[in-house]
Amino acid sequence: MAAPATRNVAQLVRALADTWPEATCEIDHINAYQLLVGTILAAQSTDKRINMITPALFAKYPNPRALANADQAELEVLIHSSGFFRAKAKSLLGMARAVVANHNGEIPRTMAELVKLPGVARKTGNVVLGTAFGIADGIVVDTHVTRLAFRLGLTKQTDAVKIEQDLCAQLPKSEWISFANRIIWHGRRVCHAHKPACGECTLAPHCPSVEMPTAAKAPAKAKPKAAANKRKAR
C-alpha cells in the first residue's frame, strides 16, 4: 500500500529539528560493539535501564571476542534486570560468536550482514548503522516511531517494515537518521502513548490527531459502568 498523501512533511521535519536539535540515540556507548549490545538488550526494556547494566557488562566483556567466550549463566546474571535475560543472553552470545567467526571481530557495516546476526532485525541494524557509522540505510522504527508516525498521518500501517517503507518514501534520505532520533525523543517526552501532551506539542499545527488519542479513550471508560448497571438490574 502506498504511503498516505502528506502535505506538511517538510514543515514537520523543520518543527522536529527546531524542537529537538540535539536529539541522538540515548543508549550509552563508545563504539559500534557497545551500541549493538545495548540495542539488543533494550528490547522490551528502556534505555535508562540498559545504561545501568552495561558498564559492568562491558568491563567484563569489552569486545566481541570476550563476549563470545562468556559463560551464559554469568552473562544472564549481569543482564537479568533487562528482562527476557535468557533469550537476550543467547542472542548476545550468538551475535558475538558470529561477529568473531565471520567478521574478524568487527561489527559489520551493512544491513544484509547485520540482520544475519542473532538478535538483530532491521530496527537494531538501523540504530547501529545510523548512530555508529552514519549510514542511512533506512529509518529506525521502534514503538515510539510506530505510534507517532500513525498519529502524524505518515502511515496507516502497523507492520514495522511497511512503516519504514512509508517513512522512507516521504522523507529525504539526508533526514532518515535525525528524523528517527527526534521522533523518539518527542515520543518519550511529549507524545506519550496514553496521555499525549497535545497542548504543549510543537508539532500540533502539523498533526491530524491533536487531542484524538485522549478522546478515543472515552468510550472504554463507559464500559465498566454499563456492566455495573446491568448487575444492579438483575
Q: Which pLDDT tens digit goes with each residue over 162-205?
A: 999 999 999 999 999 999 999 999 999 999 999 999 999 999 99
Name the more confident of 3 and 197.
197
Q: What is the pLDDT of residue 211?
A: 73
C-alpha torsion sign, points 139, 131, 142, 159: positive
The grid coordinates of residue 99 equal 561477529
Grid coordinates standing for 185? 525523543
| Phi/psi of residue 32, nearest 5 degrees | -65, -35
The DSSP secondary-structure symbol of 61 reads -
Distance CA 126, CA 105 (A): 20
Which residue would you say has higher pLDDT here, 27 or 211? 27
User: What single letter denotes the amino acid at residue 92?
Assistant: L
DSSP 3: P
* Global confidence as pTM: 0.86
Residue 44 backbone class (left: φ over 0; alpha: ψ -120 to 50; beta: rest): left
Q: Per residue in 86-137, pLDDT tens?
A: 999 999 999 999 999 999 999 999 999 999 999 999 999 999 999 999 999 9
- Please state, in angstroms and rounded to a whole number, the distance separating the CA atoms of residues 84 and 40: 11
Q: What is the pLDDT of residue 8?
A: 81
Cell of 216: 478515543
pLDDT digits (tens, 9 = 90+) for 7-60: 589 999 999 999 999 999 999 999 999 999 999 999 999 999 999 999 999 999
* CA gap 194, 10 in Å, rounded: 27
- Domains of the chain (ranges plus CATH)? 1-234 (1.10.340.30)
CA proximity to 196, closest of 216, 221, 214, 220 = 214
